[in-house]
Amino acid sequence: MSDYDFDLVIIGAGPGGYEAAFDAAASGMKTAVIEKDKVGGTCLNRGCIPTKAIMHSSDIYRDASAGAAFGVDVEGLSADLDRIIARKNQVVETLQDGILARFKKENITLLQGTGVVKDGHTVAFSPNGDGEEPRDVTADKIMVATGSHPFVPPIPGADLPGVMTSDDLLDISGPVPEEMVIIGGGVIGIEFATVFYDLGTKITIIEALDGLLPTMDKELGRSLKMNLKKKSVDVHTGASVTSFSKDGDKIAVAYKEKEKEFVVPADVVLVSTGRRSSTAGVFTDEFLEKHPDFMNRGQIKVNDQYQTQEPSVYAIGDAIGGIMLAHTATAEGRNAVAAMNGKKGEIRMDPVPSVIYTSPEIAQVGLTQDEAKEQGIKIKTRKFPMSANGKTVIEDLGRGYIKLISREEDEVLIGAQFMCGRASDIVAELAVAIGNGLTVQDIANVIHPHPSFVEAVMDTARL
Q: What is the pLDDT tens value at each position of the chain, 463 positions in all?
A: 468 999 999 999 999 999 999 999 999 999 999 999 999 999 999 999 999 999 999 999 999 999 999 999 999 999 999 999 999 999 999 999 999 999 999 999 999 999 999 999 999 999 997 778 999 999 999 999 999 999 999 999 999 999 999 999 999 998 999 999 999 999 999 999 999 999 999 999 999 999 999 999 999 999 999 999 999 999 999 999 999 999 999 999 999 999 999 999 999 999 999 999 999 999 999 999 999 999 999 999 999 999 999 999 999 999 999 999 999 999 999 999 999 999 999 999 999 999 999 999 999 999 999 999 999 999 999 999 999 999 999 999 988 999 999 999 999 999 999 999 999 999 999 999 999 999 999 999 999 999 999 999 999 999 9
Q: At what angle do helices 48-65 and 81-105 cross, to 10 degrees?
A: 140
Asked whether 50 and 91 are in contact (CB, 8 A), the reply is yes
Residues in the chain: 463
Question: Rounded to whole angstroms, how far apart are CA atoms 117 and 133?
Answer: 17
Cα-Cα-Cα-Cα torsion 132, 136, 137, 139, nearest 10 degrees, comes to 180
- Residue 357, classified by CB atoms within 10 Å of its CB into exposed (0-12), middle (13-18) or buried (19+), is buried
Nearby residues of 93 by Cβ (< 8 Å), 6 or more positions away: none
> What pLDDT does residue 1 have?
43
Q: H or E element: which one contains 415?
A: strand 413-420
Nearby residues of 428 by Cβ (< 8 Å), 6 or more positions away: 353
Cα-Cα-Cα-Cα torsion 347, 294, 149, 109, nearest 10 degrees, comes to 60
Nearby residues of 309 by Cβ (< 8 Å), 6 or more positions away: 291, 293, 294, 301
Question: Rounded to whole angstroms, how far apart are CA atoms 314 and 9?
Answer: 10
Nearby residues of 338 by Cβ (< 8 Å), 6 or more positions away: 23, 344, 345, 346
| Amino acid residing at 275 | R
Question: Rounded to whole angstroms, how far apart are CA atoms 408 and 350?
Answer: 20
Question: Rounded to whole angstroms, how far apart are CA atoms 78 and 64?
Answer: 10
Asked whether 258 and 396 are in contact (CB, 8 A), the reply is no
Transcribe 217-276 into DSSP letters: -HHHHHHHHHHHHHTT-EEEESEEEEEEEEETTEEEEEEEETTEEEEEEESEEEE---EE
Q: H or E element: which one contains 111?
A: strand 109-119
Residue 451, preceding peptide bond in cis (omega within 30° of 0): yes
Enumerate long-range contacts of 260-268, CB under 8 Å, 24 or more apart: 264/181, 264/204, 264/234, 265/179, 266/162, 266/177, 266/179, 266/180, 266/181, 266/204, 267/162, 267/177, 267/178, 267/179, 267/180, 268/162, 268/164, 268/169, 268/172, 268/177, 268/179, 268/180, 268/181
Closest CA to 231 of 261, 260, 204: 204
Three-class secondary structure of residue 106 per DSSP = coil
448 tagged catalytic: no
Radius of gyration of the chain (CA): 24
> What pLDDT does residue 131 have?
73
- Count of helix runs (H) and strand runs (E) in the chain: 14, 23
Transcribe 286-341 into DSSP letters: HHHHH-TTSEETTEE---TTSB-SSTTEEE-GGGG-SS--HHHHHHHHHHHHHHHT
In order of 170, 213, 250, 323, the CA distances from 354 in angstroms are: 22, 11, 35, 9
> What pLDDT does residue 399 have?
85
> What pLDDT does residue 160 have?
98
